[in-house]
Each structure stands twice: as C-alpha cells, then as structure tokens.
C-alpha cells in the first residue's frame, strides 16, 4: 500500500475487510466448486477432427472457426443427461460449501432465458432454465451459489475489445486513451453497457438465492475505461441485493487500476486474482480475503475431451485446499461438464476422493483460517475460528515420526490426537519453551531414502 494517497473518485470504497455475517459465512467455506458449462462443451476442444490447443471454452476465438457456425451450436444444445440435483449431491459429497456457475461465458450464450437477447438456452432444443435448476438444486443441498458472468460477449453486436491500451500505460496516457475507433462503435458500446446492466439486474432479480457475482473478462480496455459507469453499476447491484458479494475483478478506477486501486486498496470484497496459482506466505495476501480458482489440467475450464499435460491428483488438490485455508483463503475446484450434461469420470473420481478426505478431516478446513504460526516442513497449520484448536495438516511425513510445533509464548498443548482417531492421544514432548515434538511414530522402521537428480545441460 502507498503511504501518500491520491484522491480517487472511483477507487475502493471500503478500507479493510467486510465485517458482516454474510462475508463471515463466505470466509467459513474453505472449499468450493466452479462449473464452466456452455455451448463450448459440445465441441469439447475439437473442431472438424482437429484439437484446439487453447482452453476449450475459448474455441470460438480459434482462427479456423466461422463464428456463425459456432453460434449455431445453440441448435444442438440438448443435454439429456443434465441433472442439477445429482451435480449438487456430488458437490456436497466432495465437501464444497459454495459453487460458482457460468451464467454466460465469453461466447455470450446465456444459460438463463434472458429477455435481452435471443442467444439463450430458451432458444436451444433444451429450452429449460439451467441457471434456475442449478441455483435451486445447490441451494437445497445447503451450498451457496455465486453467478459467474463474463463482461466479454462475443455474440453482442455492441461488444468490442477496445483499441490496444496505451503503451507505456501511465496515468497520463490513460487519461486521453480512446478505446473506440469510431463514433459509431462508441455509440454501439453504449447499447452494450445498457444490455450488460440489464442482464445483471435480471440475474439478481430472477435468482434471489444467489449470494454473489463472479466477474470475468473485465481486462478488456473498453470496459476498463468505463470508470464512472462501472462504479455506479456496482453500487446499483449492491443496493438491489444487500450483502451481495463481488470480488475485485469487476471494474477499474479512473487511472486504469484493476483489483487494487491507484492507492493499492482492494476494490471489491475479496481478492480475485489468484487464478491457477496460490500465495506462498501470508504477506502475499496483504490482509485481504481471497480465493483461488483452479483447473484439474493446466488450463482447461470448459469440457475438453482430450486433457493434456499434467492432471492434478486428489492429494495435490487437497494440499492446495489446505494451503489456501492456512493462508486465510478459500479453494475452488473447477469442473467442466460434457455437452450431454454429465460430469466426466476423472472429475467424479477426484470429487469422491476429496470428499472422503474431507469427511474425516474437514474440521481442519471449514471455519478455519491462518493460525498465525510459523510454517513447518511437514505441512500447514490452520486454526479453528472461535476455538483454541490448531490443526496440523500433514503432507510431508518426517521419517523420525516427530512433528515440530512452535507455539506463541504462554501456550501449552492440553491434548493431541488425529482427526481420524480422536480417542487415541499422541505423545507431546516439550523440547524448548513453547516448542514441542508431537510423536506419531507412524513411520517407525522406515529408512531414510535419497532421490538423485542427475542433471545435464538442456539442448
């Protein structure tokens, strides 16, 4: 944060964290589910037998694809296996406490029957309101719903990406930057702004159970230049739904600063910049609320029939969840259902493995947060809110079977046990003042081992 603050009209309107019950509930989630579902699930990353190398939900932007052909996928959207109740049951089994669902991705296709465009689910063979089914089914399972909404809309005639941002990008150059190449384009964009506003009001009106909006595609410089409009739109949406949760990825201030305004203050209720990456230490999150959204392969959100590269395992994903909570954030795992509405087997398996772990160990994740302790080699500390319970989530087991714990002065350990077997108490040995060894001895008899990396120069 900067020490000398500049006067901002459209910067952050709140310094520090929200302190209301709705936001406190958001903080308790620990684990969430993201769902990317739309027309792009039909090609699943493949067009005329050719694999698209980018993220499957971006396939419309692929050079070889006529846009009108992509848009006519609307006539093919008939997901006969779609069962929102089953999705919600499986999400609950995984242990997700919230879901973020794509109401409209960059292609502009609306998964709800919007009155403001004909490019919606209503005009597909499926016809039914998918957003309503998802909201109702997840709500019935006690999972809070957040609506993903893309500002980029490739289908709307008024949408445009805007001229390239000024380079160098400075406060001065941004002042005179004009995103529009003609008056006509500027006028059309005004229509697009009204359309966007109408759709957002429509979503909040139609789905009163939704707890928040998750914005995307707001890096578009035409949108970034709408400081006054986006600021008042955010105020309008918040007034319409008191308690509404909106992250930092919605608008830019008058100097073109996003997420954090020109004074370094967070714009929105939580930091939304942790995209397929995690902070490493508590300083990285600057005291803000945050969540991390993560894909199973490297970068595929929508369904891709040919996942490539490294596919994350449930242990990796559980570790990311633990690490997120240990640094005061939530972890959100993405799913990309297929064009017929089913969830692929790989994702079902991961969900059930994560769920099995959560059933035993979820107490260290839910309503838990940063413990204020120095990180240790064996894994992550979390602290159960409102209690004196510290959790040690172990990912690296020491061969010695002894786990080092350093507590603040004046803190003693009354009892230690594993969440999986609370009745078996573990031996606690005090090694210095406030420094302990917890003896698990699970690895008794194991011999230390060595992994060799023989290296050579890359050619």
Binding stretches for ligand JFZ (CB under 6 A): 36, 55, 57-58, 216, 273, 275, 293, 301
Tokens linked to 192: 């697009």
Q: Least separation, in Å, of the C-beta of 36 and ligand JFZ?
A: 6
Q: Least separation, in Å, of the C-beta of 293 and ligand JFZ?
A: 6
Q: Least separation, in Å, of the C-beta of 57 and ligand JFZ?
A: 5
Given the complex with ligand JFZ, which of 237 and 292 has the nearer CB atom? 292
Give the three-class secondary structure for 290.
strand
CA distance 409 to 382: 18
Contact status, residue 132 vs residue 196, Cβ threshold 8 Å: no
Q: Least separation, in Å, of the C-beta of 34 and ligand JFZ?
A: 7
Residue nearest to ligand JFZ (CB): 275
Q: Least separation, in Å, of the C-beta of 172 and ligand JFZ?
A: 25
Given the complex with ligand JFZ, which of 102 and 416 has the nearer CB atom? 102
CA distance 360 to 365: 11
Q: Least separation, in Å, of the C-beta of 55 and ligand JFZ?
A: 5
Q: Least separation, in Å, of the C-beta of 450 and ligand JFZ?
A: 38
Q: Least separation, in Å, of the C-beta of 288 and ligand JFZ?
A: 15
What's the full length of the chain, in residues?
459
Given the complex with ligand JFZ, which of 243 and 273 has the nearer CB atom? 273
Determine phi and psi for 124, rounding to 5 degrees.
-95, 165
E runs forming strands in 153-304: 212-216, 245-246, 271-275, 290-294
Given the complex with ligand JFZ, which of 58 and 436 has the nearer CB atom? 58
Given the complex with ligand JFZ, which of 134 and 371 has the nearer CB atom? 134
Given the complex with ligand JFZ, which of 266 and 440 has the nearer CB atom? 266
Given the complex with ligand JFZ, which of 128 and 312 has the nearer CB atom? 312
Contact status, residue 415 vs residue 425, Cβ threshold 8 Å: yes
Given the complex with ligand JFZ, which of 293 and 438 has the nearer CB atom? 293
Contact status, residue 336 vs residue 351, Cβ threshold 8 Å: no
Q: Least separation, in Å, of the C-beta of 302 and ligand JFZ?
A: 7
DSSP 363-432: GGTTTEE--S---BTTEEEEEETTSS-EEEEESS--TT-EEEEE--TT------EETTEEEEEPEEEEEE
Tokens linked to 143: 């999972």
Contact status, residue 3 vs residue 265, Cβ threshold 8 Å: no
Helix axes 183-206, 227-240, angle to 10 degrees: 10
Which DSSP helix (H) or strand (E) runs through 245?
A: strand 245-246
Contact status, residue 45 vs residue 51, Cβ threshold 8 Å: yes
Tokens linked to 164: 């390239």
Tokens linked to 103: 């109401």
Given the complex with ligand JFZ, which of 214 and 436 has the nearer CB atom? 214
Which residue, among 223, 239, 88, 118, has the nearest Cα to 165 in the 3D structure? 223
């Amino acid at each position: 944060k900067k020490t000398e603050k500049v006067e901002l009209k459209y910067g952050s309107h709140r310094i520090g964290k929200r302190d209301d019950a709705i936001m406190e509930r958001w903080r308790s989630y620990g684990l969430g589910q993201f769902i990317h579902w739309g027309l792009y699930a039909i090609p699943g990353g493949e067009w005329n037998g050719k694999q698209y190398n980018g993220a499957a939900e971006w396939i419309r932007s692929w050079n070889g694809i006529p846009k009108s052909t992509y848009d006519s996928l609307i006539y093919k959207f008939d997901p006969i296996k779609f069962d929102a109740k089953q999705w919600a049951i499986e999400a609950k089994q995984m242990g997700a406490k919230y879901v973020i669902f794509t109401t409209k991705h960059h292609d502009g296709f609306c998964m709800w029957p919007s009155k403001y465009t004909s490019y919606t689910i209503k005009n597909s063979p499926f016809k039914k309101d998918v957003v309503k089914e998802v909201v109702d089914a997840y709500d019935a399972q006690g999972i809070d719903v957040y609506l993903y909404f893309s500002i980029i809309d490739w289908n709307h005639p008024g949408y445009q990406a805007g001229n390239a941002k000024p380079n160098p990008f400075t406060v001065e150059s941004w002042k005179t930057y004009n995103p529009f190449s003609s008056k006509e384009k500027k006028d059309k964009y005004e229509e697009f702004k009204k359309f966007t506003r109408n759709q957002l009001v429509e979503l909040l009106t139609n789905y009163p159970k939704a707890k928040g909006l998750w914005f995307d595609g707001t890096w578009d410089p035409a949108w970034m230049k709408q400081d006054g409009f986006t600021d008042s739109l955010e105020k309008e949406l918040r007034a319409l739904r008191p308690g509404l949760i909106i992250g930092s990825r919605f608008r830019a201030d008058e100097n073109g600063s996003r997420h954090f305004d020109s004074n370094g203050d967070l714009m929105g209720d939580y930091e939304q910049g942790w995209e397929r990456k995690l902070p490493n230490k508590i300083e990285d999150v600057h005291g803000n609320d945050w969540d991390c959204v993560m894909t199973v392969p490297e970068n595929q959100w929508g369904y891709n029939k040919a996942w490539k590269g490294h596919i994350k395992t449930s242990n990796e994903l559980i570790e990311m969840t633990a690490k997120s909570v240990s640094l005061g954030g939530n972890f959100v795992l993405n799913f990309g259902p297929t064009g017929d509405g089913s969830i692929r087997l790989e994702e079902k398996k991961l969900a059930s493995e994560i769920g099995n772990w959560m059933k035993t160990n979820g107490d260290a994740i839910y309503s838990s947060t940063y413990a204020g302790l120095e990180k240790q080699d064996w894994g992550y500390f979390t602290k159960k809110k409102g209690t004196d319970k510290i959790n040690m989530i172990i990912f690296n087991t020491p061969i010695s079977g002894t786990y080092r714990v350093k507590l603040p002065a004046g803190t003693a350990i009354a009892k230690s046990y594993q969440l999986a077997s609370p009745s078996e108490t573990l031996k606690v040995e005090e090694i210095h003042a406030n420094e302990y060894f917890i003896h698990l001895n699970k690895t008794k008899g194991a011999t230390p081992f060595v992994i060799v990396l023989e290296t050579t120069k890359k050619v």
